[in-house]
Amino acid sequence: MKLGKSKYLRGKKIVPSPIPGNARVVELVDSYFQAYNAGRLREACHLFANRMLQSDVTIGMSLTGALTPAGLGGSCVVPLMKAGFVDWIVSTGANLYHDAHFAIGKSLHRGSPFIDDRILRKEGVIRIYDILFDYDVLLSTDKFFRTVIRKEEFQKEMGTAELHYKLGKYIHERERILKIKHPSVLSTAYQCGVPVYTSSPGDSSIGMNIAEIELSGYATRIDVLLDVNETAAIVLDAKRKGGRSGVLIFGGGSPKNFLLQTEPQIQEVLQINEKGHDFFLQITDARPDTGGLSGATPSEAVSWGKVDPNKLPDTVVAYLDSTVAMPILTSYALAQRKPRKLKRLYERRGELVDKLRAEYFKGLKKRSR
């Protein structure tokens, strides 16, 4: 056995000092999140605040699971967008739909996950684990979306970023009329120019209501292929300007893959020379050995070209509940970093796709010689 000071013992000493009653989030994370997944969350906070939030990094965020019904849209996603800490988003449609409940003046309530759901059904109460709300919340939100999407400006084919931007304009106006104090995700995205995508637009109540409108003879159509090219164009442009791309992943599922597949779309499908995302930060409670996290651990993502192999040290996965990690990560970042200038990528989508197309055809021409 080699005696002496090992290089592996250079980490900060674990000091079991008592937590003061007035400890702030930054102090709690830096001094008391010392090991296990608390240690990984500390590393995630440091990676996000100290490295990913540099001005040259374009940050995409994915949202999976019922996060907005728990209030995390207004408490975390909105402040991150306003501070310029998130530049584009891929979300389940459900998160955007349930976030709209608050925007139209409806209420959701804390409850218990152990109530007899047969009784709730009789009383017209909907349950999302320990969140409870009246069935009318769904009906009123459905009516709001159907009324808005029947308007003339929606009678065309469009990607989900444009759909959500247009919806955000009406949601913002509804919040203004109702004097809603805290804005919703789509309202804020509309104001900040943050493009919001849904990888499976038919898999939510928003998509269900668009389907009802289609049955009525309206012309609203969703172009999911445009979404694929727009998101790839955002990532390619970040790199071509000499910048970097970072992904902030809450949960897994389709939004996670849609966020990450931008690099394989660039490299594998369009055959444009690229190496992968520069930063990878994921909060998840899934496991790779059961298939729930397959293809998405940072090292496995390297094999797909999703993550630059040279940047593997700049990756963190914290295995814990997003509803715990997101408020801590958000508070830490807001306390440690000044706001960044808004990139307003929504307004540049056409320009970015044109650049992607030009580079693709340039390579295609070379390969055909």
The first and second tokens of residue 351, run together, are 């320009």
Neighbours of 345 (CB within 10 A): 22
Residues 6+ apart with CB under 8 A from 334: 79, 83, 85
| Better-scored residue on pLDDT, 100 or 4 | 100
Residue range 93-104: mean pLDDT, rounded: 97
Residue range 154-163: mean pLDDT, rounded: 98
Please check whether residue 250 is in contact with residue 283, taking contact to mean a CB–CB distance below 8 angstroms.
yes
Q: What's the pLDDT at 120?
A: 98
The first and second tokens of residue 73, run together, are 């849209």
Percent of the chain whose predicted confidence (pLDDT) is above 90: 86
**Cα distance between residue 227 and residue 113, in whole Å:** 36
Q: What's the pLDDT at 4?
A: 64
**Cα distance between residue 298 and residue 311, in whole Å:** 10
Say if residue 295's pLDDT is above 80. Answer: no
pLDDT band at 294 (very low <50, low <70, confident <90, very high): low
Question: Which range has the worst mean pLDDT, 21-25, 156-160, 245-249, 287-291?
Answer: 287-291
| Better-scored residue on pLDDT, 127 or 296 | 127
Name the residue ranges covered by the structural domains of the chain. Answer: 38-93+159-201+222-367
pLDDT digits (tens, 9 = 90+) for 335-360: 999 999 999 999 999 999 999 999 99
pLDDT band at 1 (very low <50, low <70, confident <90, very high): low
Residue range 41-50: mean pLDDT, rounded: 98
Q: Which CATH architecture has domain 38-93+159-201+222-367?
A: 3-Layer(aba) Sandwich (3.40)
**Cα distance between residue 136 and residue 222, in whole Å:** 27
Cross-strand partners of 319: 284
CA distances from 245 to 15, 33, 232 (A): 36, 27, 11
pLDDT digits (tens, 9 = 90+) for 301-335: 888 888 888 888 889 999 999 999 999 999 999 99
Please check whether residue 287 is in contact with residue 317, taking contact to mean a CB–CB distance below 8 angstroms.
no
Mean pLDDT over the full length of the chain? 95
**Cα distance between residue 120 and residue 135, in whole Å:** 10
**Cα distance between residue 259 and residue 257, in whole Å:** 5
Please check whether residue 277 is in contact with residue 263, taking contact to mean a CB–CB distance below 8 angstroms.
yes
- State the virtual CA torsion across 360, 363, 365, 369 in degrees, nearest 10: -160
Establish whether 306 is a catalytic residue: yes
Q: What's the pLDDT at 289?
A: 81
Say if residue 176's pLDDT is above 80. Answer: yes
Please check whether residue 277 is in contact with residue 51, taking contact to mean a CB–CB distance below 8 angstroms.
no
pLDDT band at 367 (very low <50, low <70, confident <90, very high): confident
Catalytic residue among 239, 256, 306, 311: 306
What is the DSSP-derived secondary structure letter of residue 225? H
The first and second tokens of residue 32, run together, are 């008391």
Length of the chain in terms of residues written: 369
**Cα distance between residue 292 and residue 157, in whole Å:** 33
**Cα distance between residue 238 and residue 260, in whole Å:** 14
pLDDT digits (tens, 9 = 90+) for 196-223: 999 999 999 999 999 999 999 999 999 9
Say if residue 80's pLDDT is above 90. Answer: yes
